[in-house]
Every structure is written in structure tokens, then in C-alpha cells.
Structure 1
Amino acid sequence: MAFGPDDLVERQVADVGALMEIRDAFPTMWIDIVQFGDAELISGIGEAFGLHRLALEDAINTHQRPKVEEYDDHLFIVALMLDDAGSVETEQVAFFVGAGYLITFQERPGDCFENVRDRIRKASGRIRGAGSDYACYALLDSIIDTYFPALENVGDLLEALEDRVVGSPEPGNISALHDMKRHLLHLRRAIWPHREVFNTLLRDDHPLIAAETKPFLRDCYDHTAQLMDIVETYREMASGLVDVHLSSVSMKLNEAMKVLTVVATIFIPLSFIASVYGMNFDRESSPWNMPELGWYLGYPFALLLMCASAAGLVWYIWKKGWLG
């Protein structure tokens, strides 16, 4: 996309010579390179625009950390863009900002820049009249803005998990919580370096960054700080839900153990009485050997003694409040 205040050209170009012709005709040109299959074309673009060789290698070799590198006639910026609003997977986007040009390198098709393209097509705002630095800001702002819906989705999932943990502490909840903490850690690692990117762009005076663009970059810096606050809040919530889940499981186990303990306590005297009257002493050898065995109501007496012992223990436990 090559544009100025009054004109716009948008086309697919596969020849470096055609790019240079378009560049000479417009104040600003945005070259968006998606996928890196044509190494010769990329090398030609690097030579035509004087891009530093090491920076060009970093743009093609992904898995770079978000950063800013300053060169004599251009800036090299790396950012991480979410694949979509419902995902936490990121892809690298590299920016080369020079006098009158902006070159972006994307790993794969699909991005969050369509709103910027529409603004350029409709000449809305100041983007058509500003330089390449403002166009770079607009793209970086779109990248940062995609993190808000992703975190909103994470917040909804956390609320649903909170209801599940509090309502029914199931074994699957802890696995879901650990997945959520891992996603939040991934988002934190993606968002955190962007603060240093915007801080560098704001702090260092570079001729390619106009003074009029810095307030907009400051707004992006504020957004990254806000995102970090949200991520940290959600991480604390996830950690708190893990503690709540473990506490709930422990409480359920304690309730079960309390019931089993009460039952065992009630049966202790019953077992004692049954064992006493189950001893095989010979009554004919001594009148003291189990005289109750000769009673006419000896068996009902033993049963009543057991029931009385059990009832007494139940009343005592209830009086102490141990039954809840």
C-alpha cells in the first residue's frame, strides 16, 4: 500500500523494481510480506532499502523477543501478535521503519491489521497524511488491542471455573486451573517485553519518530501497563482458585472422615459388649462364669445394653456439636 494525503495504490507486487517505482511516486509506502518462501525477493528488498543484514535475519528467523534496534537510517521492531482473539498463541511480526517506508514481516497469513488498511483506504484520521512512524504506531496499536479480547475471554473462563470450584470441587478442576495459569504465563511473557519496546521508542530521540507520534506511542505504553495489571490480577485469581479447590477437597475429606469417625466411635462399645458375651467360659465350672447367659432375658438385655450405649454416644456427640 503506497499512499499520500490525496492518493492511494494497493496491489500485490512480486518484483523489487516495481516496488521502487511505486516508492518514488508516494510519500509513504507499506510493504507487507507474508511468509518467507521467496528468499531472493526478501534479499532484494533488503538491498533496495538498505536493511541491516542481522535485522533481516531476525525478521525471517522467528521466536524473537519483542525488541527495538536502532540503525542509522531505519528502526527494527519486533512484536508478538495473537493469532486470534480467542487464542493465546502468538506469531512474530517484524517492522522496518525508514524514511517514507514501512516494511512488515509476518509468519503466516491472517492478521489484525484490517482496520488499519480500512483507515488508509478511507483516508480516515491522520494516517494518510502522517509518515511511516505513525503507520507503524497504528499497526502496533492494533496488535496491543488484540490482547484485550483475549484477556476478556480468559476472565470469562476464570469466572466459570470459580463457579465450578466453589460449587463442586471435581478432580478435573485442578487440571483446568493449571492450564489457565499456563495460558496466563504465556500471555505475560508476550506482553511484558512490549512495555520496553514502547519505552525505548518514547525515551530515545530518533529522527524517524516524529514528536507528534510520541503521544500515541505513550498511549500504547499505557495499554501494555494496563494489560500487565489484568494479567497479574488473573494470575492471582487462578492461584487463589487452586487454593480454594484444595481447601474444598480437604473439607470434603474431613467431612467424610468425621462421619466415619462417628460411626466407628458408636460401634466401639457395641463391639466391646459383643466380645464380652462371646467369651466361652464354662458356666458349670464356676457361678461367676458369665451368669447372664443363664438369664431368661439375657439376650434382650445384651441388645438393650448395646442400644443404650449407642444412643448415649449419639446424644453426647450431638450435644458437643460434632455432627454439624
Structure 2
Amino acid sequence: MWISPIKSVVCLPALRRSSLRCLGEESKMAISKKRRRRASIVIPQREHSAPPGSIEPPPNSSTSRLHVIAYGTDRVEERDLDDVAALRELRNQAPGVLWVNIEGIGDASTFKELGDLFGLHSLALEDVVHLHQRPKAEEYDDHAYVVLQMPTSDDTASLEQVSIFFGADYVITVQDGQPGDCLEPLRQRIRGARGRIRQHGADYLAYAVMDTIVDSFFPVVEQLNGRLEQFEDQVIDRDGDELVAEIHAARHELHMLRRVLASSREAIGLLVRGEAGPISELTLPFLRDCHDHTAQLLDAVEALRELVAGLMDLHLAGTSNRMNEAMKVLTIIATIFIPLSFIASLYGMNFDRLSSPWNMPELGWRFGYPFALSLMLGTSVGFLLYFRHRGWLGKTRKKTAHVRGELS
């Protein structure tokens, strides 16, 4: 990752095609939007009277749908199941690794039967149905439980919780039911036997799922980078509360991304260090690469946060500069009219010219009025020339154009 000294553009590493397929087209269209929905910080809600390990899905949750892929080195079976009972039969006939993907958390009975079938811990199942969990990794007797947040679009306000269980020969992923995910390229790799995924075990599949989710954040960060580039071009000339609101919204989204990515890096780091989850020696190098991706994303988010802070300072400086320019114009006008007012008031004094020849002799002069006007005009022109000579007039526009040319 590097930062351009001219445009302050955060340059991210080359994205994988899987992550670009997830969010590529929508991220390009979103840069032109003027207003963004602010990402809200959601506090998890729990029933205080429920005992630990209770599986109580939130109201209005979508119905649970099961999709299963069972594969080995030589064959793949894929089907949609209606209940866990059919999954029990399929598990006994699975050729190697069993991947169960569940969309929707509305059926408590499904998760209870799933826990009985695979021996999943009740506390982990409780966290599955209670959304907005912090990304984490936990190890139990014969399986591991990982929670990650997955972007469902290029809008950082839309994140979906993904719960991952994996053991010796199975991987279970649970999504909260929002349409679409970024895991379809991974399914295509399994169907087409591309890469090494069919030659490895369940821990490699768990890594592949986590790696795909982490890589899906790259287009989100790129989209935020594009928005901040636009703000950087507009902050010098554009004024008003709308731009400030957009910059504040971007800062809030970056804060949420930083919180999610920092927790994700910590969770994957536990797996890398062997403190959570049955990870084989063959999978560890790939998992370290996934951990490095989270570090790259976090560094990019930190750089964008610094850019947002710089944009706010630049906007405040621009607003102060425009105010100073207005005050300078008013000061110049007042400075020019002060001697004009003095001349006008001087010749407006009512002295009797008949009582003394020294009382306003110019009032009886044939060219007295043109002389007064010429004196006022000469004074004004003299002040303007002096102000221009000192650089107070005529150079601000050139300096602004020069700065804008450097930024472009």
C-alpha cells in the first residue's frame, strides 16, 4: 500500500476476481451518488430473562434455507434440503468435506437439530441467532466457531453477519438472510475443481470462506477512496453544510470499517497462532495470507481516516479563507471611502466666505467642483494601485488556480 503525494490516493493491492465480482459494478455506480445513507452502530438486543445458551431468533427473521455441497477429490454433490433430517442422511454418505450453508435464522428448531447432529456448543448457537456480534474466533472440544461481518453491497452501511463452524470434515456457514453473498465464486471453484480446494480438508474450506469474505472489503474501501477523491477536488471550491455532512458520513463509515476489520484481524490471528480451531500445517500459510489481507485493509482504512481529517481541516481552512476574502473586500471598500468621506465633509462645512477670504476659497473657484471630484477619483485610484502593489488585489485568483492545478 502506498499513498500518492499529490492526490493522497490510497492504492490497494491487486484485488482477486472473486471480490471484484461481488461488488464491482455497484461500486462504480456508487461513486456518483451525492448522498449516502449513514452507517448506524447497532447495539445487540438480548432477552435478559433467557438463560445462557437459549436459541431465540429475533422477530421477523427470515426462514432458514439449507444448501449443501459435499465434495471429494473425484466428485461433488450439491442439493437444497428442507430440514436437518435429510442432512443427517447426506452426512453419512458424504464423499469427503461437507459444506452446509444456511440462509436465514428464523427457525430455532433447525439450529437445535443442527447442534445435536454436529455437536455444536449451545453458546455458539446462541450467538448465531443474536446478530451484530463482534468478529471473533472461539475453540470448542472438536470444532471452532468464527464470526465475521460481510458487506452485501458497496455501501458500508450494509453488513451481514456470517457465522462459521468447522470441524474435521464439515463447514457450516450461517447468514442472516439478506439476499446475495460473495461466496458464489468459491462454489464455482468447488464445482469446477479449480485450484487446490478439492484436495484439502474442511479447514482449508473454512479458510477459503474467510478469505473470500475479507477480500470482499477491498471494493468497499476502493469505493470510499473514490468518494474521498471527489471530496478532495470539491473541498476548495464547494461550500455549504452538504459537503460537511458527506465528509462526516464517510468518516463514520471508516470508523465502522476500522472496528470490524480490527476485530477480524484479531480473530484470524487467533487461528493463525493455533489458539482457536483445528488448523492443519498445510492450511496455515494460506491463513497467514488472509491475516495479511486484513492488515492491508486496516492500513488502507487508517490512511483514509487521515485523509478525511485532512479534508476537514482543508474545508475549514477554505471556509476561513473565503471569510477572510470577504472581510478584505469590505475593508478595502471602507479604506477607499474613508478619505472620500473626509473630502466630502471638508467641503461641506458651512463657513461664511464673505467674512474672510480664507473661508473655503475653492467654493468660489470656477474649477472647484471638478477639482473636488478629481481629488476623490485620484485618491481612490491611488489606493487601488497601492493595494495591488502590495499584493492585496488581483493575485488571490491566480494562487487558487495554481493550487488547483497542482492538485489535478
Question: Is the TM value for this pair above 0.5?
Answer: yes
Within the alignment, does 1:9 sit opposite 2:66 as a pair?
no
* Amino acid in structure 1 at the alignment position of 2:327: M
CA separation in 1, counterparts of 2:183 and 2:276? 25
The match for 2:134 is 65
Alignment partner for residue 100 of structure 2, among 31, 55, 58?
A: 31
- CA distance in 1 between partners of 2:386 and 2:75 (Å): 92
Q: CA RMSD in A?
A: 1.9
Which one is further off, 289-298 or 13-22? 289-298
| Shift of residue 213, structure 1, vs aligned partner | 0.8
Give the deviation of 1:11 after TM superposition: 1.0
> Once the two structures are superposed, what CA deviation does each residue of 1:165-219 show, in whole Å capped at 9, x if it has no partner?
24x2322332222222122112111211111111100112567211111111000
* Whole-Å separation in 2 of the counterparts to 1:193 and 1:184: 14
Question: Cα 1:17–1:310, aligned 2, differ >3 Å: closer, same or farther?
Answer: closer
2:91 matches 1:91: no
Deviation at 1:228, TM superposition (A): 0.8
Higher RCO (CA-CA < 8 Å; seq separation 6+): 2
Counterparts of 2:364 and 2:261 in 1: how far apart (Å)?
Answer: 87
CA distance, structure 1, for counterparts of residue 166 and residue 376 of structure 2: 91
Q: Which runs of 5+ in 1 are unaligned?
A: none
Look up the equivalent residue of 1:268 and give its one-letter code: I
Q: Distance in 1 between matches of 2:136 and 2:203?
A: 16
Higher-Rg structure is 1
CA distance in 1, matches of 2:274, 2:388: 74
Q: Offset at 1:58?
A: 0.2
CA offset digits 1:61-90 (Å, max 9, x no partner)? 101000011111111110000012454521
Q: Which stretch of structure 1 is more off in the superposition, 62-71 or 270-279?
A: 270-279
Match of 2:197 in 1: 127
Specify the code of the residue in structure 1 equivalent to 2:162.
V
Unaligned 5+ runs, structure 2: 1-68, 396-408
**3-state SS of 1:69 partner:** strand
- Deviation of 1:287 after TM superposition, in Å, equals 4.6
The 8 Å contact of residues 143 and 277 in structure 2, kept in 1 or not, is answered as no
Deviates more, 1:295-304 or 1:227-236: 295-304
Q: Deviations over 1:222-265 (max 9, x none)?
A: 00011111111111112112222222222222223222222211
Point out the structure with the larger helix share: 1
Task: Work out whether residues 169 and 249 of structure 1, in 8 Å CA contact, stay in contact via their aligned partners in 2.
Answer: no
Alignment identity in percent? 51
TM-score by length of 1: 0.93
CA shift digits 1:24-72 (9 cap, x unpaired): 1122211111111221122111122111111101011101000011111
Match of 1:170 among 236, 239, 264: 239
1:274 aligns with 2:334: no
Task: Give the whole-Å Cα distance in 1 for the aligned partners of 2:390 and 2:149.
Answer: 62
2:249 matched to which residue of 1? 179
Aligned residues, how many?
323
